Amino acid sequence: MWTASQSERRLLVTQDLDFSDIRKYAPGTHHGLVVVRLSDPSRANLVQRIGQAFAAEAVESYARMARDFGALSPAAQADIE
């Protein structure tokens, strides 16, 4: 999944805590990664929580904020400019 998401320049949403190692997945070195921790980690709960987050947050501005903080890969930065 990681290789596919990166080759397609996509954000990966996962519950796999192996992706929480910022030494391996440092900000600015990939196209995006969200590690979600839920008390009941079912697929249905993950989909519901991600839907709620995207509905409640101004996610369109995240790419611009990440760019401003220097936390985007060069390819991702080119996508938003």
Each residue of 15-66: pLDDT tens digit? 999 999 999 998 888 888 889 999 998 989 998 988 888 788 776 666 666 6
What pLDDT shows up at residue 76? 60
At 51 the three-state DSSP class reads helix
Range of the domain at 13: 2-80
Please give the helix or strand (H or E) that residue 12 lies within, else none: strand 12-14
DSSP collapsed to 3 states, the chain: CHHHHHHCCCCEEECCHHHHCCCCCCCCCCCCEEECCCCCCCHHHHHHHHHHHHHHCCHHHHHHHHHHCCCCCHHHHHHHC
* Total domains, the chain: 1
Q: What is the pLDDT of residue 62?
A: 65
Q: What is the pTM of this model?
A: 0.66
- The string of pLDDT tens digits covering residues 62-73 is 666 666 655 556
